[in-house]
Amino acid sequence: MILQLIISSIVAGSIYALMGLAMSITYKASEIPNFAQGEMGMVSTYITFVALSSFGMSFLPALFFTLLFAFLLGVFLEFAFIRRAKNPTPLSFIIITIGFQLMLYGFAGWKWGADQRRLDLPFSETKTIIQAGDVTISELNLATVAIAILMMGGIYLLLNKTKLGLAMKASQQNEKAAQINGISTKRILAISFGISSMVGAIAGILVAPIITLDPSMMWDPLLKGFAAAVLGGMKSLVGVVIGGFMLGLIENIFGFYISIEFKSVVAFVIIVVILYFKPEGLFGKHYVRKV
């Protein structure tokens, strides 16, 4: 049974880690915690749904359009709202992203209704891939973990091995210096939001088959992803991934051995405890900014 528990933890952890990474990418770039991340993923998932069911596309083209949409949505958030803020404080950014979240939530409710819909992916939840004793791994479980790991690798390469990644790192560390070296820091920030929105969209597509597609489906994954990011350290990509898997494990073990009703509370307790004892997260590096 413990083995099955670990497997569920890894599956849940992959999704938390993806949501955490999505938040971490923009947070690293701008210190803005994007609370619209979940709803951006949700709306993007609806795009997949519409492409699959209304336009009868096959999965890969639908995914392509979803990612394109997600990227543009992220760029739109930065360009239309974040960039317009006058003398912004962290609080104004939080309010802006929460406002955008509510807009998207309202839009989805108006456009697609509150009905729970089924998103059919090429990998199914009911098809078992591995069955050994009392351990079952479904096709969806395997695909979720595989896609999440691929995404993590991709993000790592993008941020550490490319010109874009270097420009992002430079803009984070010293905006003025980045600008005088020919980096358009605003454009870089918009691209960061686009990329993080794409990661959130993938998380949404992976979440939807598990808990059905509806406008509020990303609330829980967003908060868990946020908790994972806080646990591992918002600014450390590796930390966020480890935080995601740790959260999955802690949550499932708590749910099984202690109380299933309070399973969801675990994430919030973790946020509070971490912020109290180690605000930079378990793996976060704490830089003191010199004045």
Distances in Å between the Cα of 149 and the Cα atoms of 84, 113, 277 are 35, 33, 30
86 part of the interface to another protein, by CB under 8 A:
no
Q: How many CA atoms lie within 13 A of 168 on its CB side?
A: 28
Q: Which of 180, 261, 276, 277 binds another protein (CB under 8 A)?
A: 180
- SS3 letters across 159-178: HHHCHHHHHHHHHHHCHHHH
Are 49 and 63 contacting, i.e. CB atoms less than 8 angstroms apart?
A: no
Count of residues in contact with another protein, rule CB under 8 A: 23
Q: Which of 58, 131, 162, 212 binds another protein (CB under 8 A)?
A: 162
Q: What's at 163, amino acid-wise? A: K
- Other beta carbons within 10 Å of 189: 23
Among the listed ranges 11-19, 80-88, 166-174, 224-232, the one in contact with another protein (CB under 8 A) is 166-174
Are 11 and 144 contacting, i.e. CB atoms less than 8 angstroms apart?
A: yes
149 part of the interface to another protein, by CB under 8 A:
no
Q: Which of 127, 161, 258, 269 binds another protein (CB under 8 A)?
A: 161
Among the listed ranges 39-47, 142-150, 173-181, 192-200, the one in contact with another protein (CB under 8 A) is 173-181
Q: Which of 66, 185, 192, 236 binds another protein (CB under 8 A)?
A: 185
x/- string (CB under 8 A) for another protein, residues 259-288? ----------------------------x-
**Cβ-based nearer residue to another protein, 128 or 181:** 181
Query: 40-71: string of b/e by CB count within 10 Å (b at 16+)?
Result: bbbbbbbbbbbbbeeeebeeeebbebbbebbb
Residue 121: both structure tokens together: 């992916």
Q: H-type helices in 136-280, by residue range?
A: 139-161, 163-173, 175-180, 185-211, 219-232, 237-257, 265-277
Q: Which of 124, 131, 136, 174 binds another protein (CB under 8 A)?
A: 174
Q: Which of 57, 68, 147, 158 binds another protein (CB under 8 A)?
A: 158
- Report in angstroms how near the CB of residue 235 gets to another protein at its nearest: 11
183 part of the interface to another protein, by CB under 8 A:
yes
Q: Which of 176, 261, 276, 277 binds another protein (CB under 8 A)?
A: 176
Using CB under 8 A, list all residues that contact another protein.
Answer: 157-158, 161-164, 166-167, 169-170, 173-174, 176-185, 287
